[in-house]
């Protein structure tokens, strides 16, 4: 089920290990069932784009993957670590999984530099100089090294989101979760963020991306998943999705969004 676009280096997904395993995951908000028996496997280095109308449970699902939400039943295993009541596991998982939010959620009282180095210094106990060097390297990677000493409020939305990506990368995670990373951005800034994400995908990061950017999905994703009303309705390659979707709900959704 590998799809390789021309720009992608060959990533051997066939022999890769499953890094995320979800089995029969349920999540309730009071009487509302947000997730209904979600099961899936995601391999290391795989790029998965999650689609679905709002309220379909797609955000809830990826928030469950780093325990911002607790699932009510079923199992989630991240890189061999069980997501359960064990306090040690929780911390271990969070430093394996980076997350980028729709609203950036940068820390407004800290400079860009400190936003990025906070995690490495406080959680990984990295010395300040090393953390600063790492942060500069990441800022260069996302293309804004000159903004290091500014505060988030002084940056544009696109720049803020790129800082947020750098902040997540600073923890050197194995998996990156993106929760609608471009939805709060002005149109002219979307591309700069998507470019960074594309570069990240090429580098072999495992990524789960909730987005409405169909171009990104078509070009970068190895696999697409379609959520509706809390369940995983359909999954497959971009080719499968855009040329030959099977389920009625998927067709309807795609016809509305394309």
Partner 1 sequence: MVDMPAQNPQRIVLPPHRERARRPRIVRLREWARRNLFNSRAGTALTIVTAIILGLLIYGVIYFVFVDANWRVITDNRWLLFAGGYPMDQEWRLWFSVGFVFLLIGLTYGTWASLGRRDHLFIVLASGFAILLLAHGGAAIWSTLWYLIAVGLLYAGYAITIRMPREAGPGRTLQQRSVAGLLIAALPIVLIVLLAFGGARPRELEGFVLNLVLAPVGIAGGLVIAIPLALGRASRMKAISWTCTTYIEVVRGAPLLGWLFVALFILDDVIGGELIVRAMVVLAVFTAAYMAEYIRGALQALPGGQSEAAHAVGLNQFQSMQLIVMPQALRISIPPMVGQAISIWKDTTLVTVILPLRELKGNADSAIAQFEFTPDRIEAYVFVAVVFWVVAFIMSRISQRVEGSLGIGER
Partner 2 sequence: MTVAAGSAPPPEPDVPLIYRRGVRRLLTQGIYVAITAVVIGYVYTSLDLREFGFGFLNEPAAFKVGNQWLTDVDGVTNSRITMYLVGVWSSLRAVLVAIALSTVLGVLVGVARLSSNWLVAQMAMLYVEIFRNTPLLVQVVLVYTILLIGAPLIENVVNVGDFFFVSNRGMAMPWPVPDGGFWNTPDWFVGVWVAALIAMAVAAGRLRALRQDRERETGQPQFANRWAVGVFAVGALISFFVLGAPVSMDRPMIEGTHYIEGMVMEPEFTALVAGLTLYTSAFIAEIVRGGIQALPRGQTEAANAVGLSGYQRLTLVILPQALRQIIPSVTNQYLNINKNSSLAYAVLYDDLFRVANIVQNKAGHALEMFFVIIVTYMLISFAISLVMNFFNARVTAQRI
Nearer to partner 1, 47 or 168 (CB): 168
20 close to 41: Cβ distance less than 8 angstroms: yes
Long-range Cβ pairs for the range 11-17 (8 Å, 24+): 11/45, 11/204, 12/45, 13/43, 13/45, 13/46, 13/222, 16/43, 16/44, 16/45, 16/46, 17/43, 17/44
Cα separation, 116 vs 96, whole angstroms: 16
Residue 167 binding target from partner 1, partner 2, none, CB below 5 to 8 Å by type: partner 1
Q: Which of residues 141-180 bind partner 1 (CB under 8 A)?
A: 149, 153, 164, 167-168, 170-171
Q: How far is the CB of 105 from partner 2 (least distance, A)?
A: 24
Q: How far is the CB of 5 from partner 2 (least distance, A)?
A: 20
Q: Which of residues 41-70 bind partner 1 (CB under 8 A)?
A: 66-68
Nearer to partner 1, 66 or 159 (CB): 66
Nearer to partner 1, 8 or 110 (CB): 110
Q: Which residues of the chain form contacts with partner 2 (CB under 8 A)?
A: 1, 17-18, 21, 23, 39-43, 75, 77, 80, 82, 84-88, 90, 232, 234-235
Residue 33 binding target from partner 1, partner 2, none, CB below 5 to 8 Å by type: none
Residue 118 binding target from partner 2, partner 1, none, CB below 5 to 8 Å by type: partner 1
What count of Cα atoms within 13 Å lies in the side-chain half-sphere of residue 156?
12
Q: How far is the CB of 130 from partner 1 (least distance, A)?
A: 16
Under DSSP, the state recorded for 146 is G
Secondary structure class of 195 (helix, strand, coil): helix
Q: How far is the CB of 128 from partner 2 (least distance, A)?
A: 31
Does residue 101 interact with partner 1 by CB under 8 A?
yes
Cα separation, 206 vs 144, whole angstroms: 23
Q: Which of residues 9-38 bind partner 1 (CB under 8 A)?
A: none
Does residue 231 interact with partner 1 by CB under 8 A?
no
Nearer to partner 1, 45 or 63 (CB): 63
Does residue 122 interact with partner 1 by CB under 8 A?
yes
Cα separation, 212 vs 162, whole angstroms: 18
Cα separation, 13 vs 206, whole angstroms: 11
Q: How far is the CB of 119 from partner 1 (least distance, A)?
A: 4
Inter-axis angle of helices 112-122 and 157-169, nearest 10: 20
166 close to 116: Cβ distance less than 8 angstroms: yes
- State which of residues 2, 33, 37, 95 lies at the interface with partner 1 (CB under 8 A): 95
Q: How far is the CB of 106 from partner 1 (least distance, A)?
A: 7
Cα separation, 63 vs 173, whole angstroms: 16
């Amino acid at each position: 089920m590998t799809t390789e676009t021309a720009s992608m280096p060959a990533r051997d997904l066939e022999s890769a290990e499953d890094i995320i395993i979800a089995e029969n995951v349920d999540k309730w908000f009071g009487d509302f069932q947000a997730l209904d028996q979600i099961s899936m496997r995601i391999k290391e280095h795989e790029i998965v784009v999650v689609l679905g109308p709002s309220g379909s449970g797609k955000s809830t699902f990826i928030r469950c993957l780093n325990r911002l939400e607790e699932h009510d039943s079923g199992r989630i295993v991240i890189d061999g670590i069980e997501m359960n009541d064990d306090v040690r596991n929780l911390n271990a998982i969070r430093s394996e999984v980076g997350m980028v939010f729709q609203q950036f959620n940068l820390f407004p009282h800290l400079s860009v530099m400190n936003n990025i180095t906070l995690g490495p210094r406080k959680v990984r106990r990295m010395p300040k100089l090393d953390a600063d060097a790492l942060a500069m390297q990441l800022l260069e990677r996302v293309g804004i090294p000159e903004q290091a000493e500014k505060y988030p409020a002084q940056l544009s939305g696109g720049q803020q989101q790129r800082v947020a990506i750098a902040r997540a990368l600073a923890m050197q995670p194995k998996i990156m979760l993106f929760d609608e990373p471009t939805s709060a951005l002005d149109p002219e800034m979307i591309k700069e963020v998507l470019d960074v994400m594309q570069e990240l995908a090429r580098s072999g990061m495992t990524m789960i991306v909730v987005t409405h950017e169909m171009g990104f999905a078509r070009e970068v994703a190895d696999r697409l998943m379609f959520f509706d009303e809390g369940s995983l309705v359909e999954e497959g390659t971009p080719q499968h999705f855009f040329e030959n979707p099977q389920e009625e709900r998927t067709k309807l959704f795609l016809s509305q969004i394309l």
